[in-house]
Amino acid sequence: MDLKYEEFKEFIKKLGFDVDIESYTRLKETIKYYAQNDDIHGLQHFFQQLQNCGGYALQIPICIFSGNNYTFEEQVFRIMELYPFVRLLSDTELKDNEYIVKFRSGKTGHHFIRVDEKGYVTDKHESNFPSEFQGWGTLENDPEAVFAVMKQEYRSSDVKDLPQCNRDMFLNDDAYYEIEEDGYKDIRTKQAIKPLTFSDRLQEAYNNRQSSLFYQGKTFYLKINKNDPELIYICNDREVLGELCADGNEFILELNEEKKNIIFGFQPSKPIKIKEKNNLDY
């Protein structure tokens, strides 16, 4: 059985799936099940369904689902909340133990892509095999977050204990897939609490009469216009980034479009060149 198990592991790697199998107990049990039954086609089908674009990009054995009732900012926060080995690259340098994942979301859905150390970009669509990235399609003009993701071999054991499941970004708990001979049983649970956004933290600071707030590892300041007390400037330590109008009833935030990336950090300060490769070697 051990030889067959190793053979099946090698088979799925050749298909383009590079999850750290030995780190996931349920995943190992699944492969052993198909190996015992000598069902290579069943194993292939299982792995095609196991990951969508998110699971493939983050190198975890799950599908990651999105939801239309969350803003892009909330989605980005939720991803980092669920997966502590993911951070916003923003204007920082990529570490040796990290690789790049880009995430976009809009009215037509969401998508993750993975960028390797040489700049080659791959992705996965639904039950298709991983392949060379061909473009964003309907998400071409939607907002983008660039993540720095810790490589599998550097992730802590508690992260690797994440169960084999389909995970909705907007659930507090995992939606497990129980392995059964005649298919998979999807178990979903309760809704998650939405993460606090920049606007939430800004309003919280205003209500508490605080002159500063901390967001995404940076400090921002609230400075009152002396000639118009209802007008408050949103600043960092160098410049004005936007304005807040508040009279006790209304709370209107207007940010300079060119300064938004300074606040949210959704795009890196240095453009990432996407290289093309006709034949991917898996």
Q: Are residues 61 and 182 in the same domain?
A: yes
- Mean pLDDT of all residues in 224-235: 89
Return the number of other C-beta atoms located less than 10 Å from residue 120's C-beta.
16
Are 110 and 74 in a shared domain? yes
Is 149 contained in some domain?
yes
Q: Name which of 82-86, 184-188, 252-256 the model is least confident about.
A: 184-188
Domain residues for the domain of 36 are 2-186
Q: Kindly report, residue by residue over 134-178, the tens digit of the pLDDT.
A: 999 999 999 999 999 999 999 887 766 555 556 777 776 666 555
Looking only at Cα atoms, what is the longest distance across the chain? 79
- The residue written with tokens 């001979």 in the block is 181
Distances (CA, A) of 251 to 51, 73, 87, 121, 122: 41, 19, 30, 42, 42
| Exposure on the CB side of residue 176, measured as CA atoms within 13 A | 7
Total count of residues recorded for the chain: 282
Total structural domains in the chain? 2
Band of residue 282 on the pLDDT scale cut at 50, 70, 90: very low
Q: What pLDDT shows up at residue 261?
A: 84
Task: Determine, yes or no, domain membership for 229.
Answer: yes
Tell me: the pLDDT tens digits for 100-114?
999 999 888 999 999
Which residues, including other chains, have CB under 8 Å from residue 276's CB and lie 6 or more apart?
120, 132
Could you tell me if residue 120 is inside a domain? yes
266 touches 91 (CB < 8 A): no
257 phi-psi bin (left φ>0, alpha ψ -120 to 50, beta other): alpha
Do 114 and 153 lie in one domain? The reply is yes
Provide the CA 174 distance to its chain's centre, in angstroms. 16
Give the single-character DSSP code of 177.
Answer: E
Kind of pairing between the strands at 165-168 and 63-65: parallel
pLDDT in tens, 3-38: 899 999 999 988 888 888 888 877 888 899 999 999
Residue 130 near residue 75 (C-beta atoms within 8 A): no
Query: What amino acid is encoded at 206 in this protein?
Result: Y
Query: Is residue 152 domain-shared with residue 249, that is, in the same domain?
Result: no
Asked if residue 268 has pLDDT above 80, the reply is: no
Q: Of the residues 132, 157, 186, which one is the last residue of a structural domain?
A: 186
What does the alpha-carbon distance between residue 199 and residue 75 come to, in Å, rounded to a whole number? 15
